[in-house]
Structure 1
Amino acid sequence: MRRLVIVSNRVALPGEGAQRSGGLVTGVVDALHHSGGLWFGWSGKLKSARSPPRLVEADGVTYATVDLTRADYDGYYSGLSNAALWPLFHYRLDLVNFTRQDFAAYLRVNALLADTLAPLLKPNDLVWVHDYHLIPMAEELRRVGAAQRIGFFLHTPFPSLGVLAALPHYLEILKSLCAYDLVGFQTIEDLTAFHDAIVRRAGGEVSADGRIHAFDHDLRSGVFPIGVDPDAIADMAARAVKSRTTRRLHESLQGRKLIIGVDRLDYSKGLEHRFKAFACFLEDYPEQRNHVRLLQIATATRSEVPEYCALRQRLGALAGDVAGRYARLDWAPIQYLNRSFSQHSLAGFFRISSVALVTPLRDGMNLVAKEYVAAQNPEDPGVLILSPFAGAAYELDAALIANPFDPGAVAEALQKALQMPIEERRERWRDMMEVLHRNNITAWRESFLGVLGSPI
């Protein structure tokens, strides 16, 4: 069995998975434990000088982490990755902040990571690189002689050519992607955008089966939508609903219906639009006042970035405005929390929620949508309201699809969800669960690695 090597911006060391249990962690930990392997990336620590990689062995997996200097962090992570690529890939050209110094740091850190990883590789390894921070990784590994099969998976959207071309050096980004043996995307829209850029700007060729020839290299490309483990989430939710935390939340509702949103505090999630849509709902459907509550959990991230600090302030003001306009002495229409909860607690919250609002302005997949569906009580499932701009909308078409840019449409979807007959709720839930079982986390992993491991 070929050893699997995972390369990601951050490494979840043993014991840290519960704190950073995103799609990447969930998707690769089982594979590493099954086949044995290596997980390589940044430690999350800053040091004044570079040092050799730190190796930790646990359960047949080697965790290899490296520290970064402050200059590396500022240019590679805060700079090019999160001030330029993240907003660009989420169609926020107004927030793109590109500098040549940051781009140089991005290339420099990827070269540093490749130089550090190469001696740890074995000839027959399968190397799987994740996300926008590490696009140049294959090119840098090839530079130092790595001949292993290397695949790349983009967890975010891939922008259309008109947006991508706004990035200086975007051709270098395309060239770096073409150094991989396989490039995977969340949706057909992302894959099509990549193919369009390759053909129209890189002079490449794309065949009907996703094979690409560009920059003197042959590679494959495809759609590999990331999934969840629906059975594990269902079991967790059934247990969590009995926990003290979930019972306290349920009792606080006093018979009202709960509408829930769970997101990172990020401008791509459409939280401002969501709060305005909820206010529109309360205005257009006054009979629902005092009968519902919106619980919005928005975990703060990248707190040092000015745009995120400003977003947090605006959301607090919007939540206060909604409360000020519609609250009663014994009812708060909105509960806005800037804190994180365990996966166990969130599963319980999902289980008792009548509606989930998953309305990003742009999202690669959005696993909250899938987790919410998996956590539902089969006899009395809640309703998922989903943005068409989330990758999950390509699979979960039995959800209520609502455009977050149209507050009236989201308000109408909320009213429909809250009034939906139980037979329709069950039918929609069964349809979505069928998708979740078919495209689960194991299918995602095995399909990607199966293609990566086969000859081009």
Structure 2
Amino acid sequence: MSRLIIISNRVSAPKDSNSGAQGGLAVALAAALRENGGIWFGWSGDVTEEFTGDINFQRRAGVTAATIDLEQQDVEEYYNGYANRTLWPLFHYRIDLAEYERGFAGGYVRVNDRFADTVRPLIEPEDVVWIQDYHMFPLGQALRDRGCRNRIGFFLHIPWPPRRLLGTLPEAADLVRTMFAYDVVGFHTEEWLESFRDFAVKDLGAELGEDNTLKLGDRTLKAIAAPIGIDCKEFVEGANSPAARLAFRQMRDSAVGRDMIVGVDRLDYSKGLEERFRGYERFLERHPEERKEVFLLQIAPPSRAGVESYQKIRTTLEGLAGYINGRYADVDWVPIRYVNQGYPRDQLAGIYRAARIGLVTPLRDGMNLVAKEYVAAQDPENPGVLILSNFAGAAAQLREGAVLINPYSAEEMSDAIIQALRMERQERIDRWRVMMDNVEKEDVIWWRKRFTSVLMGTEQETEPAE
């Protein structure tokens, strides 16, 4: 049986089973490595004065991790620069924030070449290689240039922008051309897949074949939609753990009979937090009778503090939360509880269950697993309501049960909040059951098996839900 070589920007080493903080993607990839054997390779997160290519091997919970250190210039140009100041905003439709610097692009290529130089000797002839996310678009081509003839797959965890938007990237054609080094390319939704296919056909002249194959020159790739899920069974168990029950009781006690709305998002402009606050303010303005009956808990751990646009969004949100609280708060009630820290997943599960509404309103998101976690955490006899952005990848799977909105519209958000607060229990149960069926069926293990079956040539008919 072929080994699996997983390559990602960072390696999430398996944690002890009782940790409660292990992400769903890490769980799925670690399980794949335990089943197939192999190595998880990536950046350690540490900085070295001079790049040497030395590999640090670790083995934990049946998974072998191999990491390398990068130079500070690498981090600035490849990670903070091209990955997070060029590609991330552009692929999330924020062309106004995208920075096109040749130094960033050069650093991005250099680091991908360093990854290729270092990992290539670890790849054996029968291995299958699976590369993760936008940090490493050109890595497949770099491996091909070094003689790698293995099956290589790539999965994108963020949206793929429309053709005209991607065309604003100076080296867009070159970047997409390198992706034909892959045998299989995966996206979360049909929309992202169609946008990729549109650019490949119209801008590169690729030929569209049967079964979502694309041919460019002598290379043929297969593009698939494979929406990622959560480890549903593990999350439901976590929602019933002692830590989750304690968090649930603490939130219910602190609510003193009020309905809680919860948002849990990394502090990022793509998450629509400013628009969410303004939509909630519109709700408070239009429904004064509800003001002391509800509050919004927004959990927003900081991220990418070295990138200026992230510093600005934090400042903006702190000012907006202060403004709304100053305008509407009373001596015994604060409309927004704004928290800049993260919590373990079992505690989050308890917080989700205590919330009458889950507010998931990104302006653009590849998937958004918070939406699925909120659904999985609910009490089947008395579930909350998920308000979900039309522009989250999760909307394609959860649209029958969620209250879908345009996150740019404060009025739609206000209307959705009052609809959710007044929704009868049976309707909430019916909506939750439809969503939970999908969350259970198309979980993270389903996602992983769907992609690897195509990559390894053992594909079965497991099409994603519409």
TM-score range, shorter chain: over 0.9
Q: 1:227 — aligned with what? A: 229
| 1:51-450 matches, cutoff 5 A | 51=52, 52-240=54-242, 243-397=245-399, 398-450=401-453
How big is the shift at 1:22?
3.9
Q: 2:39 — aligned with what? A: 38
Q: 1:27 — aligned with what? A: 28
Change (3 A) 1:215 1:271: farther
Deviations 1:291-341 (A, max 9, x none): 111000001000111111111011011111111111110011110000010
Report whether the alignment pairs 1:454 with 2:457: yes
Contact 2:89 2:97 in 1 (8 A): yes
Tell me whether 442-451 or 226-235 shows the greater mean CA deviation. Answer: 226-235
CA distance in 1, matches of 2:297, 2:283: 15
CA distance in 1, matches of 2:21, 2:168: 32
Aligned residue type for 2:25 = L
How big is the shift at 1:246?
3.5
Aligned residue type for 2:140 = A
Change (3 A) 1:253 1:71: same
How big is the shift at 1:123?
1.4
**1:128 counterpart SS class:** strand
Q: 2:462 — aligned with what? A: none
**1:250 counterpart SS class:** helix
Contact 1:4 1:127 in 2 (8 A): yes
CA distance in 2, matches of 1:48, 1:375: 45
CA distance in 2, matches of 1:30, 1:82: 29
How big is the shift at 1:16?
8.7
Change (3 A) 1:19 1:66: farther
Tell me how many residue pairs correspond in the alignment.
456
CA distance in 2, matches of 1:345, 1:208: 47
CA distance in 2, matches of 1:242, 1:12: 24
**2:249 counterpart SS class:** helix
How big is the shift at 1:265?
0.2
Aligned residue type for 2:7 = V
Change (3 A) 1:96 1:23: farther
Change (3 A) 1:186 1:13: same
Q: Percent identity?
A: 45
Aligned residue type for 1:330 = D
**1:192 counterpart SS class:** helix
Aligned residue type for 2:106 = A
Aligned residue type for 1:350 = Y
Deviations 1:185-230 (A, max 9, x none): 0111100000100110000011241111014311110100001122
Q: Please report the RMSD computed on the Cα atoms of aligned residues, expressed in angstroms.
A: 1.6
Mind listing any 5+ residue stretches in structure 2 that lack a counterpart? Answer: 460-466
How big is the shift at 1:240?
4.7
Mind listing any 5+ residue stretches in structure 1 that lack a counterpart? Answer: none
How big is the shift at 1:247?
2.3
Deviations 1:93-145 (A, max 9, x none): 00000111111111110011011001111211111100000001110011111
Tell me whether 250-259 or 214-223 shows the greater mean CA deviation. Answer: 214-223
Contact 1:206 1:212 in 2 (8 A): yes
CA distance in 2, matches of 1:365, 1:371: 12
Q: 2:4 — aligned with what? A: 4
Change (3 A) 1:263 1:71: same
Aligned residue type for 1:35 = N
**1:391 counterpart SS class:** coil
Change (3 A) 1:58 1:231: closer
**1:127 counterpart SS class:** strand
How big is the shift at 1:34?
2.7
Aligned residue type for 1:212 = L
Q: What's the TM-score, normalizing by structure 1?
A: 0.97
Aligned residue type for 1:145 = G
Aligned residue type for 2:323 = D
Aligned residue type for 2:424 = P
CA distance in 2, matches of 1:191, 1:13: 30
